[in-house]
């Protein structure tokens, strides 16, 4: 089937109590690892491209890689989505250039300005059969060149969501309930330590999610910054020349719970980066004489596939839903 929008996917996910995985793609091996797992697990998927990915790999290369995945995986629905579109022009360029979904992220702007920018993108997108994700609230962490400290982050205010959605006409809404971008989501002093000495982050604000859902019944909610930062890969990085002390993510049980509620899209990027980097570091450590990129990218791609498979089956609950 050709690329699809997320409309049908989100409807089924909402009703079925699961979420769709939105994985960031930057090169061929990442696209292949993700889509091979989705194909084998019969899972619908959102492949998303950030401004940084377009600057790195070029819009056309990324679109063509995703189109290749569509040809290779005809049995699963695939959405091509712009992640964190910073302005109308970037969204327009993706809408004109083959994407089926865009995010306009004006969450750092004042409420009225966020509405105005989002509305403009929605009007253009809907005229072209493309859906729009918007954001209210500010996540901590790093996105492209924007770095938001925990002190400057803020939870979504539930009392604003109805006005925002009705005035903008957006199709899904990303909210801030305590997730954060990157591999260092919380500082050690924001966490407690369990009996094994592992950092345990503060719980997500399910009360905020529930209040938002009550005000927007049936409306798809999105969670950004939802990598879990698997400790096996942090260890692999650290044992093979890397230095990532105290990297910590969102516990998977909490994401599983969010997926059973109104959260229909869960964004995962850092876990794939960690998987790839850990695997390649280990490979170089064990094979210092090797220099053929195919030899180290092959196990990296295979491990990305397994990380994605685990998310589909054990966290998102979308395996078998294609
Ligand atoms: O939210 C940000 C995503 O992880 C994409 O990261 O802007 O470095 O491509 P990036
Ligand atoms: P992570 O950094 O937690 O993987 O979040 C990715 C994301 O939200 C992309 O938009
Ligand atoms: Zn994000």
Q: What is the mean pLDDT of residues 264-288?
A: 98
The residue length of the chain stands at 322
Q: Is the pLDDT of residue 124 over 90?
A: yes
97 neighbors 168 (Cβ within 8 angstroms): no
Among 30, 135, 228, 267, name the best residue to mutate to test ligand 2's pocket (greatest count of ligand atoms within 8 A of Cβ): 267
Q: Report CA(249)–ligand 3 centroid distance (Å).
A: 14
Q: What is the mean pLDDT of residues 90-113?
A: 98
The tokens for 205 are 């604000």
* Nearest ligand to the CA atom of 269: 2
Q: Is the pLDDT of residue 7 over 70?
A: yes
Q: What is the mean pLDDT of residues 198-207?
A: 92
Encode pLDDT of 57-96 as tens digits: 999 999 999 999 999 999 999 999 999 999 999 999 999 9
- Cα distance between residue 26 and residue 272, in whole Å: 11
Domains and CATH numbers, the chain: 7-316 (3.20.20.70)
Among 81, 86, 178, 181, name the best residue to mutate to test ligand 2's pocket (greatest count of ligand atoms within 8 A of Cβ): 181
Confidence class of residue 196 from pLDDT cuts 50, 70 and 90? confident
Closest atom of ligand 1 to CA, residue 144: 7
Question: What is the pLDDT at residue 145?
Answer: 66
185 Cβ closer than 6 Å to some ligand 1 atom: no
User: pLDDT averaged over the chain?
Assistant: 96
The answer to which of 32-46, 141-155, 301-315 has the lowest mean pLDDT is: 141-155
Q: What is the mean pLDDT of residues 13-27?
A: 98
Q: Is the pLDDT of residue 151 over 70?
A: no
The answer to which of 33-42, 174-183, 188-197, 256-265 has the lowest mean pLDDT is: 188-197
pLDDT > 90: what percent of the chain?
90
The residues annotated as belonging to the active site are: 83
Beta strands, E only, the chain = 20-24, 45-50, 78-85, 101-104, 131-136, 141-143, 146-148, 172-175, 192-193, 199-200, 221-223, 263-268
């Amino acid at each position: 089937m050709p690329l699809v929008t997320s409309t049908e996917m989100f409807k089924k996910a909402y009703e079925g109590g699961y979420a769709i995985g939105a994985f960031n793609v930057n090169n061929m091996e990442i696209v292949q690892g993700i889509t091979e797992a989705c194909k084998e697990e019969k899972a619908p998927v959102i492949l998303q491209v950030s401004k940084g990915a377009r600057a790195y790999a070029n819009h056309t290369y990324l679109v063509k890689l995703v189109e290749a995945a569509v040809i290779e995986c005809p049995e699963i629905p695939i959405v091509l989505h712009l992640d964190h579109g910073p302005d109308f022009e970037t969204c327009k360029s993706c809408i004109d250039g083959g994407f089926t979904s865009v995010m306009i992220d004006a969450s750092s702007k004042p409420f009225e300005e966020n509405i105005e920018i989002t509305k403009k993108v929605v009007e253009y997108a809907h005229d072209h059969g493309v859906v729009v994700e918007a954001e209210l609230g500010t996540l901590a962490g790093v996105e492209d060149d924007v770095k938001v400290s925990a002190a400057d982050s803020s939870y979504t205010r539930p009392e604003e969501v109805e006005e925002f959605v009705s005035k903008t006409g957006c199709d899904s809404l990303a909210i801030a309930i305590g997730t954060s971008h990157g591999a260092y989501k919380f500082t050690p002093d924001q966490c407690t330590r369990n009996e094994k000495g592992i950092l345990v982050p503060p719980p997500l604000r399910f009360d905020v999610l529930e209040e938002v859902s009550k005000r927007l019944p049936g409306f798809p909610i999105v969670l950004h910054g939802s990598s879990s930062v698997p400790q096996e890969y942090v260890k692999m990085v650290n044992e093979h020349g890397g230095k990532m002390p105290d990297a910590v993510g969102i516990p998977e049980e909490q994401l599983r719970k969010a997926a059973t509620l109104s959260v229909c899209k869960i964004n995962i990027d850092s876990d794939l980066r960690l998987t790839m980097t850990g695997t390649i570091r280990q490979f170089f450590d064990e094979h210092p004489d090797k220099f053929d990129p195919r030899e180290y990218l092959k196990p990296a791609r295979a491990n990305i596939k397994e990380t994605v498979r685990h998310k589909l089956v054990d966290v998102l609950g979308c395996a078998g839903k294609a």
